Every structure is written in C-alpha cells, then in structure tokens.
Structure 1
Amino acid sequence: MRVRTFTLSDRKEIISKIVREVLVLFKVEIVGRSGEADYLQLSVVNHRLPDTADGRVVMESQLLLFERTGRVSVFKRCSTGALDEREGAAVNRLIKLNLYHIFREELDMPQAPWGILHGVRPTKIVHRWIRGGMGEEAIIERLQQDYACSEGKARVIVPMAFRQLPFLTQSDEKTVSVYIGIPFCLTRCLYCSFPSNILPGKKRVQEFLAVLQKDLLAAKDAIEHYGFCVQNIYVGGGTPTSLPDEAFAEMLNMVYNAFYGPSIVEFTVEAGRPDSITPAKIETMKRLAVSRVSVNPQTMQERTLRRIGRQHTPEDVVTMFHALREAGIPHINMDLILGLPGETSEDVRDTMEKVTALGPDDITLHALALKRGSRLKLLMEGQHVKLPSDEETRRMSEIAMSYVRKTGMHPYYLYRQGYMSGDLENVGCCRTGAEGMYNIQIMEEHQTIIGIGGAATTKVVDFRRKRMKSSFNAKDLVTYLRDIDIYIEKRRQLLDEAYGPQS
C-alpha cells in the first residue's frame, strides 16, 4: 500500500514508533506528494476509553483512508488490556493490536508470523508469564490473543523458554560472562552491517593488542574487586581468526590468562570463515581449552558465496569442520542465512543436506536482515540485486527447520531484528546437551556481560533496581584505540552503580 501522506493524532514519540512499526510490518509506503500513491492520506487516531470495573485499560483505534475520489473509509477497533499489565505497556500494546487487526481484517493484509511481537527478545515476555505461574498451553493461547502471534511461532518460543530455565538458574547476581570483540575481517560480506574493519597491517594489529591488554586487565581487576564468578568467555567480532597466527595466539593467551578458571562453563571463539583458519590457530584453541567454535558457511552454494563476497568454497567449509572435529573441539556451531540474494528454497534444501551431514552440535538459522550499513542495502536501493520474496524466505525457513528436527535438534534461543526477510527470526537449534550457555544468557539479559575490545558492549544487570544499563566501546577502531581510558571508566562507573556500596 502506498500513501501520499500520513498523520497521527498523538505526538508522543513512543506512539509514533509503535504505529510506524505496524506500517512497516504491512509494507505501507509513504511516498510524499510527488510519488504514485494508492491513497491520498492515511490517518491514525487513538482514544483511551474509560477503564473496566476491574481496572483494565481500554483503547480504541481508528484508521482513516482518504481516496482520490474524496471518499473516506473509516475503520475502528477496540481492545481491552490484561489485569497483570502495566498501564503504559497496555496502552502501547493495544494500539498496535488494534491497528494490526484493522489491517488484517478490514484491509485483507496477510498474517505476520509474529503478529505484533516486534521486540528483539520475544521470549522475555514468556519468562515473565512463567514467573507469574502460567503453564505452557495458557501462554501459547495468550500469545495468540494478546500479540496476534501465530500458533506455530508460539509453539517454538514457549517450550524454548521452559527449556532455558535450568540454564538460567545456574547464574546468580555475581555470575557474569565476558565478551571480547576482535573487530577485524579478511573481507567485508555484501550483507554485513557489523562494525568491523578489514585486517590492517602488523603495526596496527600490535597497537590493537596492546590496547586490548589494557582493557582486559582493567576488566580482570573489576571482576576481582566485585567478587564476580566468570561463567562464559566469548571471543567474537568481526572474525577473531582473521588475525595472523602469532597475533591470534597472543590474543587468546591474554584472554585465557585473564579469565579462565574452574568456574568456566564455556569458552567460545567465532572462527567464522574457512579462509581465516589455519592448523596453528586450531592448535592454539585446543591448547587453551576452547570448548566451542563457530563455523559460519552462511550457505553451501558456491555461486552465492561469490556473490556475497566470501573467499572460500563449500569444500573449504567441510575441510575446516573436519579439522576442528579431529582436534577434539567439543562443540561446533554452524550459522546459515536464509533469504540471501539469488537463492531459492531448493538451494536451502541442498545447503541443509550438506550441513546436517557433517553432524554439527548447533545450527543457527538467520533470516537476512537488510541493514542500512550494508552494501547489499545500497544495491537493493539501486535495483541491482533481487532478494527472495517473503513467501519464498518462509518456505526456506520451513525446509531448514524440517532438517534441523530430523537431526534431533531443538530450538534453544531466539532473537529478532528489524527488517528481517519474511518477518522471521534468528533461531539457534542444538542437540540435547549442546546448548550454548552464553547464547542463552545474552539473549535473555539475565546476566551481566562485561564487554572488552573493539565495538564491545557491556550490559550490566542491576538486580537491586531491577533494570539493565549498557556502555559501548567505540565502533571506530581509531577512536577505540585513542579513548580506551574513557571506555574503561564508563564500564567501571556502570559496574559500581549496580554492585558498589549503596548510598
């Protein structure tokens, strides 16, 4: 649907945001006065009606469509909040729900798999209801009723949330994880929007390692000062294994010496691409007790790999996988992307055949998210690249999940991003016993994550005030190297606010 202009009765920023989320969901395009449009104007008007006798919020939403003929079509929907819902949250949810139902029922738009569950972490809602004593079937029903979530998606995330409970209980207020960001890659993939840099020369790499050492030691001091117990170490990026062999060994030794100990449940390194792996790096990871390595082919279609800027073949992925297995790495993850340019559901079927034949412990299925920072987004805007349709991407997801289930894997963590192909999700699946503890902790925001390195984020869970705050290291490498003392101090202040003496 294309409209020339859009108006909204409420000027609050949060209302504007949630209404626009619904417009994006149904691909409503505001073209301006010069563009070709189906309607002259779309207007949204929201009214709060008197609360129910038991105190529940009631909201009415109107959607007005102004046609070229001068005719105005008016659609109304009224919904009532839940007893256990905060007032502000109820208002926002009901506005979204009303508009969603108007688009679906009055304007004949297709169902969105996740309904109005737009947030990154939909399982957090499920965990809140679990803590309130609700059972599995009741939560599935409520997701469909309150959020217009499809039964299929509800039956993915609800059992998943219950499976996560034993892992979340292994963490308390003083249990933390450590994330180390290595912001380098050998090349930049077409779809990538991550804050990574093409691997620089030896001098700049050494400068980065010296600053990283300072960052690591400051984090180590904080961990000892507050009496934290480190549960997981995660070395990500970028592609950490893009570092030359000696630099990689130096970096991993620094990490091991700073944080490894008897409390460590999981030590993960993102190896990512086969063209970044060498026998020396595998030996370093084995020697330093790395327990989980990510191998991210994204696809096993050679023409797609070339198209997206990958400098390796599907055969290289197989070789890398076997080398890691032979080295005795306990868990190997593999990441795939659904919705890559030029691919079909049959390509995904072939990729899944090849990947599942290797027997990885964990497969994460990512739906392509078209981000502003990627070259793919620019090419799309210039009409140089065509992506699979939403319907085709959903078929890809169904095929991929059918292969995952045939191997005996089950979903154990999930997150969503804006502008995902097919309105889908990123979902991690694994065999029983191979769940990634760090993945669960970072997605459920149940634990403080101490971020170190380029573009790393520290997320501090303040258990006293029941909130979470974050501090961010610079995405730009030059800024990170120059201002490291500022980022260390910001992290220290955040930790002190949550864990220091109460004033």
Structure 2
Amino acid sequence: MKVNNFTLDSRDQVVTKVVREVLNLFKIETDCEDEYDWKTLDIVNNLRGDEYPVVETVISITDAKNQAITLSQTMAGRTDERFSAGKHRLIKLNLYQLFRKQFGFKAAPWGILHGVRPTKIVHRLLEGGLSRDEVIARLRSDYEASEEKAVTITDMAIRQKPFLARSDEKTISIYVGIPFCLSRCLYCSFPANILPDKAGLDRFMEVFHKDLAAVKQAVADYGFKVQSIYVGGGTPTSLPDEYFREMLTTVKEAFYGSDTVEFTVEAGRPDSMSAEKIKTMVEMHVTRVSVNPQTMQQRTLKRIGRNHSPEAIVTMFDSLREAGIPEINMDLIIGLPGEGVADIKDTMEKIIALGPDDITLHSLALKRGSVLKMNLEEYELPDDDTCRQMFSTAMDYIHKAGMKPYYLYRQGYMSGQLENVGCCRAGAESIYNIQIMEEHQTILGIGGAATSKVVNFRERRLKSSFNAKDLITYLRDIDIYIEKRAALIADAYGHL
C-alpha cells in the first residue's frame, strides 16, 4: 500500500516508532507523491486510565477515489505491566488488528513482537508467577504471536533459566572485537575492515593491549569472576598466524581462570584458517569455535563475496574436530540472493552430515551500509513466503538432528519477518549467547567496535559503552573509551 499524505497525532518518539513498526510490517509506504493507493492516512490514539491504560485508536483513510473509511478500536491494558509499556503495546495491537481485519493482511509470525529480545518478556512473565501455558496464552492474546513462536520462546526461556542462575553480581563475561576481514560480504553491515598491512596491525595491537590492560585491571579491582570469553569481529582468524597467537595468548592470560567455563573464537571462513591457528586455539584451551559457511551453495558463496568452496568448509570443520575442539557451531543465512527451498535442503543435508554441536539460523537482514541494501535492484531475493518455507525446512532438519532452540534475537528488516535462532544438542548451550541476549550479566568489551554492557543490580538497569565503529577513531580516542567504560563500571559496582 502507498500513501500520499500520512499524519499521526503525536510527536512522541516512542509512539512514532511503534506506529512505524506496524506500517512497515504491512509494507505501507508513506509520502508517495506520484502513485498511491490512499490519498490520506490519519492515525489518532486517545489515552485514558489511571492504574492501567485504555487506548482508543482511530484510523481515517481516504482512497484514490476520495472514498472515506474510518476504523476504530478500544482496548484496555493489564495491571501487571508498566503504564507506558502497556500504552505502546495497545497502540500497536489496535493498529495491527484493525489493518488485518479491514484489508485482509496476513498474520505476521511474531504479531506485534518487534523487539530484539522477545524472550525477555517471557522471563518477566515467568518471574511474575505465570505458568508455561499462561505465558503462551498471554503472548497469543497480548502480542498476536503465532502458536509456534509463543511456544518456542516460552520453552526457550524455561531452558535458559538454569544457565542464568549460574551468574551472580560479580560474574561477568568478556567480549573481544577483532574488526578485520579478508573481504567484505555482500550483506555485511558490520564495522569490519579489510586486513591492513604490518604497520596497521602493529598500531592496532598496541592500542588493543592498552584497552585489554584496562579491563584486566578492572577485573582485579572489583573481584570479577570471568564466566565466558568470546572473541568475535570481523573475523578474528583473519589475523596472520603470529598476530593471532599474540592476541589469543594475551586474552587467555588476562581472563581465563577457574571460573571460566567457555572460551569461544569466531573462525568464520576457511580462507582465514590455518593449522597454526588451530594449534594456538587448542593450546589456549578454546572450548568452542564458530564456523560460518552461511550457505553450502557454490554459486551463492561466489555471489556474496566469499572466496571459498563448500568443500573447504568441510575440510575446516574436520580439522577442528580432529584437533579436539570440544564444540563447533555453524551459522547459516536464510534468504540469500537467488536461493530457495531446494537450496536450503541441500545446505542442511551437508551441514547436518558434519555433526555440529550448535547451528544458528540467521534470517537475512537488509542493513544500511551493506552493498546488498544499496544495490537491491541487482539481486533477486526470495519473497517472505519462500523465506518462511526455507526457515521451516531448516528447522525440520535441526529437530530431526536432536537439536532444540536455546537463544533467539530479532532485527529490523529481516526476510520473512523471522528471527535469528541458535539451536544445539543438549549440553552444548553457549552460556555467552544466552547471557548477551538476556542481558542478565555484565559483559565488558575490548577492541574495535566492541560494546560493554554493565548491569546495575541495585537499580535493575543496564547501561552500555561503545568503542568506536570506525577503526581510525578507535585507535585515536582509546583513552576516551577506556574512561567511559571505567565510569560505567564504577557507577554499578563502586559500592561493593
């Protein structure tokens, strides 16, 4: 649907955001000057109520033939949700139901659940005393989530609870960001840089050591217990062998201790791997390596800028297994250009045959800054229905392999309005993945584009500090980022 003139009766940023989420969900475009289906679209939300919100939503539409349509719905919130959260939920729910009823739009798998971490809602409801079945019913009625998605995230949250219980106020994790890659993938919007020359690497390592030393000191000063270490990027294994060993040795010596139960390295792609790097990871007690083929289709790999073959993925996987790496996880992307259900079937058969411990399915997200987003007209992307069929097919293979979902997150502009979901065999759950998604634990970030998320347990809130995404800025302003991170830690833990 295209709209010539759109008005909303509020300038509140959150109200504007939630209304836009529903319009985007149904692909309703506004401010279309030349061709349009509706001349006007006006949305008014009337709020009343004291203990809980009551929202009346009125939608007025004038079509291209000057015919007027008025739709309205009033709904009341719940006493166990924050007033503002209830108000915003009701605005979305009213719009979602009115548009669906009037124009026959298909139900979205997630309904109005648009946030990155939908399982956080489940944890809140479980902590409020609701049973599994009551939580599922609430997700269905309050958010219009499908039965499948409601069951998935409820059972997922229940599965996560024992892992979250292992962490206390002093238990933290460490994220290490190595912002380099050997080449840039078509869909990538991450702040990764093509691997620099020796002088550039030396400068990065100099600053990296300074950044790491500051976090090492904080761990000592506050008596933190490091539960997990995650080395990501970029592609950390894009570093030359000697730099990779230096980086990983420094990280291990600084943070790996008796409380550490998980040490992960993103190895990404086979053209970045070497026998020496595998030897280094084994010596440094790395427990988990991420191998990210994205697809096992040769034509797609070439199209998205991956300079390796499916056979090289198999060789890399086998080498890691033979070296004794305890757990290997693999990432795949649903919705890549030119792919369909037959492609995901072939990819899943090849991946499952390897026997990974963990598989993460990513739904392609069209992000600003990616070559794909800037040149969409050049690529044939599968439509939403096809992406959902592909996702369902992949999940069938995962379930048959005995794996179950254990963490999940969503992003904007995802193919098929789907999600990214990690699945694993029993006992192979990544504690870091659970903690980063549920935000129950402080995670201190080191390196280019790294984020520190510091939990203030007294105030039950989380604050973040971001290292610069731009490498030049990170190198230049490292002292500023160290100070910001230190201030966050002091604010949350200074009383201890």
TM-score range, shorter chain: over 0.9
Distance in 2, matches of 1:329 and 1:291, equals 6
Q: Give the aligned partner of residue 19 of structure 1.
A: 19
2:3 is aligned to 3
Aligned residue in 2 for 1:454 = 448
Mapped pair 1:99 → 2:95: yes
1:366 is matched with which residue?
362
How far the C-alpha of 1:32 sits from its partner, in A, is: 2.9
CA contact (8 A) 2:2 2:32 kept: no
SS at match of 1:396: helix
Find the residue that maps to 2:148 and give its secondary structure: helix
Q: 1:436 aligns with which of 430, 433, 439?
A: 430
Within-5 A mapping of 1:26-37 = 26-33=26-33, 35-37=34-36
**Displacement, 1:31?**
4.0
The structure 1 residue matched to 2:113, chosen from 111, 117, 128, is: 117
User: CA–CA distance in 2 between the matches of 1:81 and 1:239?
Assistant: 46
- CA distance in 2 between counterparts of 1:472 and 1:74 reads 46
Aligned residues: 496
The 5-angstrom pairing of residues 27-426 of structure 1 reads 27-33=27-33, 35-50=34-49, 55-380=51-376, 383-426=377-420
Report the secondary structure of 1:99's partner residue: helix
- Residue 192 of structure 1 deviates from its aligned partner by 0.1
Letter in 2 for 1:115: G
Quote the Cα distance in structure 1 between the aligned partners of 2:41 and 2:380: 29
User: For 2:399 and 2:64, how far apart are their aligned partners in 1?
Assistant: 51
5+ residue gaps, structure 1: none
How far apart, CA to CA, are the structure 1 residues paired with 2:209 and 2:53?
A: 53
Question: In the TM superposition, what is the alpha-carbon distance from 1:199 to its structure 2 partner?
Answer: 0.3
Q: What's the CA shift string for 1:209-237, capped at 9, x where partnerless?
A: 11111111110000111111000000000
Q: Displacement, 1:404?
A: 0.2
For residues 311 and 416 of structure 2, what CA distance do their matches in structure 1 show?
29
Moved over 6 A (4+): none
The secondary structure found in structure 2 opposite 1:163 is helix
Q: CA deviation at 1:49?
A: 3.7
**Matched AA of 2:420:** N
User: 2:308 and 2:73 mapped to 1: Cα distance?
Assistant: 53
SS state at 2:459 partner: coil
Partner of 1:497: 491
Distance 1:384 1:158 in 2: 40
> Could you tell me whether the CA contact under 8 Å between 2:6 and 2:31 is conserved in 1?
no
| Secondary structure at 2:375 match in 1 | helix
How far apart, CA to CA, are the structure 2 residues paired with 1:359 and 1:219?
36
Name the CA distance, whole Å, in 1 between partners of 2:202 and 2:423: 37
**SS of equivalent to 1:29:** coil
Paired amino acid for 1:329: I
What SS does structure 1 have at the residue aligned with 2:427?
coil
Q: Distance in 1 between matches of 2:165 and 2:308?
A: 41
Distance 1:91 1:166 in 2: 33
User: Which has the higher mean CA deviation after the structures are superposed, 418-427 or 71-80?
Assistant: 71-80
Pick from 471, 482, 487: which aligns with 2:481? 487
72-81 or 391-400, which deviates more: 72-81
1:384 Cα deviation from its structure 2 partner = 1.0
Q: Distance in 2 between matches of 1:93 and 1:344?
A: 35
Q: Deviations over 1:124-177 (max 9, x none)?
A: 000001111111111001000000101110111000000000000000011000
Residue 86 of structure 1, CA deviation? 1.1
What CA distance in whole angstroms lies between the structure 2 residues aligned with 1:468 and 1:68? 48
Q: Distance in 1 between matches of 2:236 and 2:98?
A: 48
List gaps (5 residues or longer) in structure 2: none
Q: Secondary structure at the match of 2:426?
A: coil
Deviation at 1:10, TM superposition (A): 1.4
Amino acid at match of 1:416: R
Following TM superposition, by how much is the alpha carbon of 1:270 offset from its aligned partner in structure 2, in angstroms?
A: 0.2
Distance 2:472 2:361 in 1: 33
CA–CA separation in structure 1 for the residues paired with 2:468 and 2:67: 52
